[in-house]
A and B are shown apart, each in its own frame.
Chain A
Amino acid sequence: MSDTALNDKPRHAGFLKNNLREYGMLISLFAIMIFFEVVTNGTLMRPLNLTNLVLQNSYIVIMALGMLLVIVTGHIDLSVGSVAGFIGAVAAVLMVKFDVHYIPATLICLALGGLIGAAQGYWVAYFKIPSFIVTLAGMLVFKGLALAILAGQSVGPFPPTFQKLSSGFIPELVPDAGTLYPTSLAVGALLALALVWLNFRGRARQEAHHVETEPYGFFVAKNVALFGIITYFAYLIASHRGMPNVLVIMTALIALYAFVTTRTTIGRQIYAVGGNEKAAKLSGIKTERLTFLTFVNMGVLAALAGLVFAARLNTATPKAGLGFELDVIAACFIGGASAYGGVGRVGGAVIGALIMGVMNNGMSILGIGIDYQQVIKGLVLLGAVCLDVYNQRRA
């Protein structure tokens, strides 16, 4: 056994080449950020703008986590924008018209999202109706329902505590700290430390089992950069109004989904279903149920995104959620997910969402009209996927 494992020992040559794909996305994100930082004369990275960037994109990132799983199983969900808008409308009607307390209202909305996902997933998983068709129908249905329950009007404002979901910040423990929010900074730094610690622990485990590891120098540099970048962003965020609540939710969800997809049996099985459904089924995996569950999960996350978006606007409008699905799907594909299923990473989808977000934000600051913004985003999507396909062919 140890003999064969030893054969898997380091062959550093070609390491970077093999992992270029993984870091390529991250490098692109930074390149785009630096580009806009320069052309906007430093506006992009200003604490105020950075906080805005997080708030503006939080709901896309949240939905991208669910969409990634749907895409990995080999499906698509076109209804998420409409569902998010519909749930926002339901929340508004519950809280504003019927005065329901925000906690039960939120729970009802999340459960409703799950139910919507279940309804769509049922047709896809058990009746084998193409998800494109089922969710296209769902897109129309929930867009219409949102319009109906709002009676074509905007409904608002939400109770102030509910608004905190989007516009609130974590409480500051240090009194009178001036312009800096030390608690937020500390949280960010702790997160960075935790990630670095996890990396070192993982490497130690790998080395103990003689698994090929990346070159040590590269590993250390990577972790120093990771720590530095996260702490720096935490510092920027902390020098505006502190860490937004929604950033905390988002980070927790990203960590959760990254863990589930890479380290749990259910994650492994989802990839197996997308990679070869028949083989997965003949290996004892309940493929239908997993597909069904990914849609339920997508529904809940779409509902959460709908709530976050409604809380941010402080009103539910019939137009809320319009076109979100396109940004979400684009984020997954830019992040390296395969349209054929079986391939895609949580980190990639998040980076994809951030690339889209930074471009939106940067182009808006530059005063580029919404018309050309769309043209550019479309070309970036196409370019990213082409590059991916090209890389895979070459490999």
Chain B
Amino acid sequence: MNALLEMQGISKHFAGVKALSDVTFAVRPGEIHALVGENGAGKSTLMKVLSGVYPHGSYDGAIVFDGEERRFSDINASESLGIIIIHQELALVPLLSIAENIFIANPPGRFGIIDRGAVHRRTRELLAKVGLDESPDTLVTNIGVGKQQLVEIAKALSKKVRLLILDEPTASLSEKDSAALLDLLLEFKAQGIASILISHKLNEVSKVADRITVLRDGRTVDTLDCHDGAVEEDRIISKMVDRDLEHRYPKRQPTIGEPIFKVSNWSAYHPLHSDRQVIKNVDFEVRRGEIVGIAGLMGAGRTEFAMSIFGRAWGQKITGRAEMEGRPVDLSTVRRAIDAGLAYVTEDRKQLGLLLAEDIRKNVTLANLPAIAPGRIIDDMKELRVASDYRGRMHIRCHSVFQETGKLSGGNQQKVVLSKWLFTDPKVLILDEPTRGIDVGAKYEIYCIINELADAGKGVVVISSEMPELLGICDRICVMNEGAFVGEFAGTEASQEKIMRAIMRKGEQRPMEALA
């Protein structure tokens, strides 16, 4: 079969560092080709070479598209051939409507005057194609991330698409939205549009991909054909990391003690809509040495629950009772929650967790400055000692603790955030999506840290959208849906099916609740 795209012997250097070396990559017409690899393996760089972000001449090798060698000078050049890339961070303007976003670059019209009728009509057609039932006039900010992703794809379809590149399209989507998106890719495939899918979620990859190319350290390791029989996830992983991960989750022998932290009858309302109860009279407890998972779909209220506990950082009209080691505690401000022994590692470490422009040292000590500043004057040598200590303990890979955290990889950034919270010496840690956007190797290290914390007698709560992760590391899994717990399983008994069933069952009951 003739290839639609062939990238031959692509090499790319950045200031002496080889990001890609002699990468070969080919996409056949109408296939879904998955590109997998650890963070830093070169996936994004390769796609930037392909889309012309790195223009011809800044790399070695050749790009052949449609049987001709192409030399893209910028992104417009590749787009005009129908190579469209959708980035991980969505490029939509929140306060413009769906229609305005789709036609933001070249709206139909004459002499610079926009033909609103045509915009509307064509937007409706495109939304129908991606299966999104929204008015073209809806502001992008008012629809969820899953729908925004569809708008982004509709925007791509407004141009003539031959090859669609999706960079981690499902990273922030719920299982349901992810499934819908993947179905859409299959539909495009039926229409003859080829896709390149970059993803960390191997279950999705193996579900839709025709072929899988694995990159490691800037080289093509292998291209697996999914039609030669099912490709096992573990086989992909072992190719990605160049070592057999016999277990993706470290083994641990739990020793679970008495309840350490408990909330009862906890409720919280939406910060903007004071009549919308988001957390509905919830009871929850963690035991010493226990790892409790909270499963649920995006929007189930898990993050909201955690943040409302952590110093009322989310929501209003928060009521309920909290006990730490049997004694009632005041969690009304973040400071008090920290002093009570709580720590909350946010799901979004860049926006909510780190001072990206500051060094590792200052980030590590931020939540517990008094410990390095007797009399409010910072003992800089003590601070340095603390930071170096955590750097060693957490295996933070950096050239010194004076390195900016913004320049670290995702996994190392997460370790800095964890260090910050460990330095507050918490009794209970709530980890919200602790491995999001982190490569497989770093994930394993984070799991080991979580295990160590539990073994040290702390209570650990893990919120995650990746069910295999929860099943792999948790002693107990609570299932949340629409602001309430709808199921609870011992780690050994739980399965993805049981969790999904708990969520769905709750959904079916809803009309009856409304009647009662």
Query: Is A268 interfacial (CB 8 A cutoff)?
Result: yes
In the complex, chain B residues whose CB is within 8 Å of the CB of A5? 384-385, 388
The reply to whether B346 and A8 contact each other, CB–CB distance below 8 Å, is no
8 A Cβ contacts from B189-210 to A: none
The reply to whether A275 and B358 contact each other, CB–CB distance below 8 Å, is yes
Interface of chain B, helix or strand or loop or mixed?
helix
Interface-forming stretch among B91-99, B272-280, B367-375?
B367-375
Query: Which of B351, B362, B367, B399 is the most central at the interface, judged by chain A CB atoms within 10 Å of its CB?
Result: B367
Query: Which of B310, B377, B389 is the most central at the interface, judged by chain A CB atoms within 10 Å of its CB?
Result: B377
Query: Is A283 interfacial (CB 8 A cutoff)?
Result: yes
In the complex, chain A residues whose CB is within 8 Å of the CB of B378? 263-265, 268
The reply to whether A282 and B392 contact each other, CB–CB distance below 8 Å, is no
With A209-B381, A268-B378, A276-B354 as contacts: A4 and B369 at CB distance below 8 Å: no
Interface of chain A, helix or strand or loop or mixed?
helix
The reply to whether B376 and A266 contact each other, CB–CB distance below 8 Å, is yes
Number of interface residues of B (CB under 8 A): 40
8 A Cβ contacts from B371-402 to A: 373, 376-378, 380-381, 384-385, 388-389, 391-392, 399-402
Query: Is A133 interfacial (CB 8 A cutoff)?
Result: no
With A268-B362, A282-B310, A284-B334 as contacts: A8 and B354 at CB distance below 8 Å: no
From the candidates A8, A212, A268, A275, name the one contacting B356 in the complex (CB within 8 A).
A275
Query: Is A161 interfacial (CB 8 A cutoff)?
Result: no
The reply to whether B353 and A268 contact each other, CB–CB distance below 8 Å, is no
Bound Cα distance A227, B370 (Å): 35
The reply to whether A265 and B334 contact each other, CB–CB distance below 8 Å, is no
Query: Is B250 interfacial (CB 8 A cutoff)?
Result: no
The reply to whether B376 and A265 contact each other, CB–CB distance below 8 Å, is yes
In the complex, chain A residues whose CB is within 8 Å of the CB of B401? 4, 8
Question: Shortest Cβ distance from A143 into chain B, in angstroms?
Answer: 34
The reply to whether B352 and A282 contact each other, CB–CB distance below 8 Å, is yes
With A209-B385, A263-B380, A266-B376 as contacts: A283 and B392 at CB distance below 8 Å: no
Query: Is A3 interfacial (CB 8 A cutoff)?
Result: yes
The reply to whether A8 and B400 contact each other, CB–CB distance below 8 Å, is yes
Query: Is A128 interfacial (CB 8 A cutoff)?
Result: no
Bound Cα distance A283, B343 (Å): 9
Bound Cα distance A282, B334 (Å): 6
8 A Cβ contacts from B175-201 to A: none
Query: Is B344 interfacial (CB 8 A cutoff)?
Result: yes
From the candidates B373, B376, B402, name the one contacting A8 in the complex (CB within 8 A).
B402
8 A Cβ contacts from B337-366 to A: 337-338, 344, 346, 351-358, 362, 366
Query: Which of A4, A209, A275 is the most central at the interface, judged by chain B CB atoms within 10 Å of its CB?
Result: A4
Bound Cα distance A265, B337 (Å): 20
The reply to whether B362 and A279 contact each other, CB–CB distance below 8 Å, is no
The reply to whether B385 and A282 contact each other, CB–CB distance below 8 Å, is no
The reply to whether A265 and B355 contact each other, CB–CB distance below 8 Å, is no
Bound Cα distance A109, B357 (Å): 38
In the complex, chain A residues whose CB is within 8 Å of the CB of B370? 265
In the complex, chain A residues whose CB is within 8 Å of the CB of B400? 7-8, 212
Question: Shortest Cβ distance from A255 into chain B, in angstroms?
Answer: 14
Bound Cα distance A208, B346 (Å): 37
Query: Is A46 interfacial (CB 8 A cutoff)?
Result: no
Query: Is A271 interfacial (CB 8 A cutoff)?
Result: yes
8 A Cβ contacts from A3-52 to B: 3-5, 7-8
Closest chain B residue, CB of each to CB of A283: B367
The 8 A CB mask of A246-289 against B (1 = contact, 0 = none) is 00000000000000000111101101100110111111111000
Query: Is A96 interfacial (CB 8 A cutoff)?
Result: no
Query: Is A150 interfacial (CB 8 A cutoff)?
Result: no
8 A Cβ contacts from B291-327 to A: 310-311, 313
In the complex, chain A residues whose CB is within 8 Å of the CB of B377? 263-265
Question: Shortest Cβ distance from B14 into chain A, in angstroms?
Answer: 14
Query: Which of A7, A205, A206, A276 is the most central at the interface, judged by chain B CB atoms within 10 Å of its CB?
Result: A276
Query: Is B420 interfacial (CB 8 A cutoff)?
Result: yes
Query: Is A343 interfacial (CB 8 A cutoff)?
Result: yes
8 A Cβ contacts from A303-320 to B: none
The reply to whether B380 and A279 contact each other, CB–CB distance below 8 Å, is no
Question: Shortest Cβ distance from A261 into chain B, in angstroms?
Answer: 11
In the complex, chain A residues whose CB is within 8 Å of the CB of B420? 283
Query: Is B335 interfacial (CB 8 A cutoff)?
Result: yes
The reply to whether A265 and B353 contact each other, CB–CB distance below 8 Å, is no
Bound Cα distance A318, B284 (Å): 65
In the complex, chain A residues whose CB is within 8 Å of the CB of B351? 276, 278-279
Bound Cα distance A7, B311 (Å): 38
Question: Shortest Cβ distance from B161 into chain A, in angstroms?
Answer: 34
With A8-B388, A8-B400, A263-B380 as contacts: A272 and B353 at CB distance below 8 Å: no
Question: Shortest Cβ distance from B399 into chain A, in angstroms?
Answer: 8
From the candidates B311, B392, B399, name the one contacting A1 in the complex (CB within 8 A).
B392
With A3-B392, A268-B362, A284-B367 as contacts: A279 and B376 at CB distance below 8 Å: no
Query: Is A342 interfacial (CB 8 A cutoff)?
Result: yes
Bound Cα distance A212, B399 (Å): 12
In the complex, chain B residues whose CB is within 8 Å of the CB of A100? none
Query: Is A322 interfacial (CB 8 A cutoff)?
Result: no
Query: Which of A208, A276, A278, A283 is the most central at the interface, judged by chain B CB atoms within 10 Å of its CB?
Result: A283
The reply to whether A284 and B311 contact each other, CB–CB distance below 8 Å, is yes
The 8 A CB mask of A354-385 against B (1 = contact, 0 = none) is 00000000000000000000000000000000
Query: Which of A3, A269, A271, A343 is the most central at the interface, judged by chain B CB atoms within 10 Å of its CB?
Result: A271
Query: Is A211 interfacial (CB 8 A cutoff)?
Result: yes
In the assembled complex, 27 residue pairs joining A and B whose CB atoms fall closer than 8 Å, in A order, are: A4-B388, A4-B392, A5-B388, A206-B381, A212-B400, A263-B377, A264-B377, A265-B377, A268-B369, A271-B355, A272-B355, A272-B366, A275-B356, A276-B354, A276-B356, A279-B346, A279-B353, A279-B366, A280-B355, A282-B310, A282-B313, A282-B334, A283-B420, A284-B333, A284-B338, A284-B367, A342-B355
- 15 new A-B contacts, CB < 8 A, other than A1-B389, A211-B384, are A1-B388, A4-B391, A4-B401, A5-B384, A212-B402, A265-B378, A271-B358, A271-B362, A275-B356, A279-B354, A282-B344, A283-B367, A283-B420, A284-B338, A342-B357
The 5 lowest CB-CB distance pairs between A and B, nearest first, are A275-B355, A283-B367, A284-B335, A265-B369, A8-B400
